Amino acid sequence: MVLTPGAVWAADDTATSATPTMPAATEQQKTPVFPDLNTAASWAREQITQAKEMGWIGGYPDGKFYPLNNLTRREAAIIMSGALKLELPDKTVSSYPDVKVWGIKEIEAVKEAGLMLGKETGKFHPDDKITRQELAIILVKAAKISTEGKGDNLTIKDAGKVWPDAKPYVQAAMDSKLMVGYNNYFNPTDTATRQEMAVMAVNLAKVLEGNSTTSEQAGTVASVTADTLTLNGQSYKLTDAVKGIFNEKNAAALKDAQVKVEVDGAKNVTKVKGLELMAAGQAPAEGEPEFSGNVTLDGNQANVEGDVTVRANYISLHNLTVKGNLTVAKEVQNDFEAKNVTVEGNTLIEGGDTNTVVFENAKLKDVQAAKENVKVSFKGNSSVETVEVAKNAELAADQGISLPKVTVKDGVNALKVNAMIDELILPEKVKVEEVISNYEEAKNWIGKVNGEAHAYNTYTFVTEGVPASVEARELLSEAPADGKIAAEAFAGVQPVKVSLAVDKDNAHPYEGHVRIQPSNVEGVQLWAQDAEGKWWDINKTGWGPAEGFKLDLNLKTDVYVVAQEGTHIIPLKLEDVDKKYGTVNNVIAQKNFELKAEPKAEKPADNQDAK
């Protein structure tokens, strides 16, 4: 008899609970849930009935369950996705080449959950039979049972047949009653049957139901090891979700920390709900880098589901996502650093000093600077949505970082700015030069003030003759020492005229020194000639001397573009440079140019038949 899959393990739409709740045990129904239920072992019939009532399993098209049939990997994936209520991805094509139609979504779901993966061949082998030891691994992972210290004490008679890597899972499965043996044999290499899978699914539901009772614990950290957290005299086991924060490397940063954690029924710490850091570092030794004396909490990409508060000096936060708010509290009177930190709530700066509160490669939403004379710096690839300045302070940002919106509150009269600001919001009747303490230096870095275009920082790139596409060609060799390039090298290349201009309504001359700096884009050369007749590939060298030049609004430079085949994005920056040292102060304007280089069109062959 050939059986088609049908709804063999189809889950009912009526089962909706993320953590299964088992129905109360009842007497065997008069009408069996499957006509062949009596062929199942007596110890499996009740669980088969319960699994059917939970909507986890169904029968074959003929209505039978076939409890003694061997279990396939596909069937195991489907029952696990149903029992765990995994979210099914919206996919119609499997990531495995050997999975077709039936079970695609369920197999992708258990893959994403890390419960069942493909084999070394890159295939899933959905119709392969699944062994009892393989099932032990899947069930223990699904139940999130710790395997720490397990595997060496297996007392079953056939322990030697268990894979070494599977031994901790087999012991954990047996200890938790997810699986049982027979006469002290586990039979690890035997193929699991459909009735066994039904029993194990019910056992899994009971374990999950027991672990679903959570509580919130709060207190002072007494100690932390690789596997345990001691809080208020009680030791708790650590799950992988929190080990990024609670580990021995972070012990110094966590000394006397106030924490709030979520604990399950098995006394496992499953979430960090709040964190207050109380342990101070020290000032850097003379000649050592800033923050080198800081005590560091490295989150290893873990999450704090609530708020984080820093209450001591010289603390660094690294590689952490804060789902709530981040507060640098009043107790902080010295350096604070946050690196690779994401804050999904607000960031409140009530502490810090003039020697900086630094955010490097940070992703922030609303930032409030509420400490007198604090310096807040944004470095690297940091981004921030809004900044509110409530006290006299300093804002600084690396080249390439722009603060979209900075709001200045009443009473602020000395805000130092070393950053590009898209829009500055000031109190009514307050002039920008009355608030920005270094206005003459910073006036070109402010885009709008209270919604109106600022008289400065309106410079942008103006180009003429930019073609939709250019003919792809081989790049020229570097210019010789004298900078001379034969004119025929640019034969057929139409120059692009690049100039700089201010906003049409604000023709203010730029008072500083500037230079033009493209990014070094592979496969593209931008050739331009200087006043002495020398040619330079400004894609690599930039345009203008290191110390910059005074901006001439009427200047137009012919730039000859030579590009290899492909589509190129060329970022072009107008930089303000220090005339004395040649260092870049800030980016005044930036614009991306798209350049498409296409092969030379072939000349059509002559039509020999033409008369």
CB atoms inside a 10 Å sphere around CB 600:
10
Q: Whole-angstrom Cα distance, residue 32 to residue 63?
A: 11
In whole angstroms, give the CA distance from residue 21 to residue 138. Answer: 20
SS3 21: coil
Q: Examine the pLDDT at 22 and tell me if it is beyond 50.
A: no
Comparing 365 with 439, the larger pLDDT belongs to 365
- 247, 270, 250: which is closest to 260 by C-alpha? 270
Token reading at 308: 């984080």
Helix (H, G, I), strand (E, B) or coil at 571: strand
pLDDT tens digits, 216-261? 899 999 999 999 999 988 899 998 899 999 999 999 999 999 999 9
Contact 219, 266 (CB under 8 A): no
Q: Where are the alpha helices (DSSP H) in 127-235?
A: 132-143, 167-175, 194-211
CA distance 70 to 195: 9
CATH class of this structure's domain 460-598: mainly beta
Lowest mean pLDDT segment, chosen from 157-171, 347-361, 484-498, 562-576: 484-498
Residue 370 has pLDDT above 60, yes or no: yes
pLDDT score of 467 more than 70: yes
Structure tokens at 465: 């003759």
Check: CB of residue 390 under 8 Å from CB of residue 412.
yes
Domain positions in the chain: 37-130+191-211, 280-453, 460-598
β pairing state of 524-529 and 535-537: antiparallel
Contacts of residue 221, defined as CB under 8 A and 6 or more positions apart, other chains included, come to 229, 230, 231, 254, 255, 256, 257, 258, 259
What is the tens place of the pLDDT at every residue in 192-210? 999 998 988 888 887 777 6
Phi and psi at 539, nearest 5°, equal: -60, -30
pLDDT higher than threshold 70 for residue 129 = yes
pLDDT of residue 533: 83
Are the CB atoms for 428 and 410 separated by under 8 Å? no
- List pLDDT tens digits, range 292-306: 999 999 999 999 999
Answer with the residue of higher pLDDT: 413 or 91.
413
pTM for this predicted structure: 0.52
